[in-house]
Amino acid sequence: MPDFFRRKLLGAVAATFLLSISRVGFAASSQIVALRIWPSSTYTRITLEASESIQFKQFTIANPDRLVIDLQGVRLNSVLKDIGRQIADADPYIKTARAGQFDATTVRLVLELKAEVKPNVFALAPVAEYKHRLVVDLYPAGVQQDGLLALLQGSSKDKPEPADVQEQAKPKKKNGSRTIVVMLDPGHGGEDPGAVGLNGTREKDIVLRIGKQLKRLIDAEGNMKAYMTREEDVFIPLAVRVAKARKLGADLFVSIHADAAPNRSAKGSSVYALSEKGATSVFAKALAQSENNSDLIGGVKVDGKDRYLAHTLFDLTQTATINDSLKLGKTVLGHLGNLNKLHKNSVEQAGFAVLKAPDIPSILVETAFISNPEEEQRLLSSDFQQQMAEAIFKGLQGYFAKGAALAVRT
* Residue 198: CB atoms within 10 Å: 12
Q: What is the pLDDT of residue 172?
A: 52
As a whole number, mean pLDDT of residues 371-394 equals 98
Query: Do residues 41 and 182 share a domain?
Result: no
Question: Beta strands of 252-358 (E only): which ranges?
Answer: 252-259, 270-274, 348-350
* Residue 18: CB atoms within 10 Å: 10
Query: Do residues 117 and 229 share a domain?
Result: no
Angle at 171 between CA 168 and CA 175, to 5 degrees: 110
Query: Do residues 240 and 335 share a domain?
Result: yes
Its domain, for residue 104, covers 32-140
Is the pLDDT reported for residue 282 higher than 90? yes
Q: What is the pLDDT of residue 301?
A: 77
Most confident of 33-47, 290-304, 314-328: 33-47
Q: What is the pLDDT of residue 230?
A: 95
Residue 329 resides in a domain: yes
- On average, the pLDDT of the chain sits at 85
Q: CB of 193 within 8 A of CB of 204?
A: yes
Last residue of a domain, one of 123, 140, 157: 140
135-158 pLDDT, tens per residue?
999 998 876 555 565 555 554 455
As a whole number, mean pLDDT of residues 370-383 equals 97
Q: Residue 38's domain is classified under what CATH number?
A: 2.60.40.3500
Query: Do residues 182 and 136 share a domain?
Result: no
Between CA 164 and CA 135 the distance in angstroms is 36
Cβ-based burial of 179 (10 A; exposed 0-12, middle 13-18, buried ≥19): middle
pLDDT over 70 percentage in the chain: 80
Q: What is the pLDDT of residue 151?
A: 56
Query: Do residues 94 and 159 share a domain?
Result: no
Query: Do residues 310 and 194 share a domain?
Result: yes
Residue 19 resides in a domain: no
Residue 350 resides in a domain: yes
Helix pair angle (382-401, 319-336), 10° resolution: 130
Residue 20 resides in a domain: no
Between CA 255 and CA 277 the distance in angstroms is 21
Last residue of a domain, one of 111, 140, 169: 140
Residue 15 resides in a domain: no
Between CA 24 and CA 274 the distance in angstroms is 54
Q: What is the pLDDT of residue 170?
A: 44
Q: What is the pLDDT of residue 406?
A: 82
Query: Do residues 400 and 277 share a domain?
Result: yes
Query: Do residues 98 and 186 share a domain?
Result: no
Q: CB of 93 within 8 A of CB of 137?
A: no
208-225 pLDDT, tens per residue?
999 999 999 999 998 999
Is the pLDDT reported for residue 10 higher than 60? no
Last residue of a domain, one of 107, 140, 173: 140
Is the pLDDT reported for residue 361 higher than 60? yes
Of 18-32, 209-223, 346-360, 363-377, the range with the lowest mean pLDDT is: 18-32
Band of pLDDT at residue 28, cut at 50, 70 and 90: low
Residue 21 resides in a domain: no
Query: Into how many domains does the chain fold?
Result: 2
Q: What is the pLDDT of residue 147?
A: 57
Query: Do residues 270 and 316 share a domain?
Result: yes
As a whole number, mean pLDDT of residues 264-284 equals 93
Query: Do residues 85 and 165 share a domain?
Result: no
* Residue 196: CB atoms within 10 Å: 16
3-state helix, strand, coil in the chain (%, to 5): 35, 30, 35
Q: What is the pLDDT of residue 176?
A: 56
Q: Residue 351's domain is classified under what CATH number?
A: 3.40.630.40
Between CA 371 and CA 127 the distance in angstroms is 21
Is the pLDDT reported for residue 314 higher than 90? no
Residue 328 resides in a domain: yes
Query: Do residues 232 and 276 share a domain?
Result: yes
Band of pLDDT at residue 355, cut at 50, 70 and 90: very high
Query: Do residues 78 and 46 share a domain?
Result: yes
Of 24-38, 140-154, 237-251, 292-306, the range with the lowest mean pLDDT is: 140-154
Q: CB of 300 within 8 A of CB of 198?
A: no
The model carries a pTM of: 0.85
Cβ-based burial of 167 (10 A; exposed 0-12, middle 13-18, buried ≥19): exposed
Q: What is the pLDDT of residue 22?
A: 37
Residue 340 resides in a domain: yes
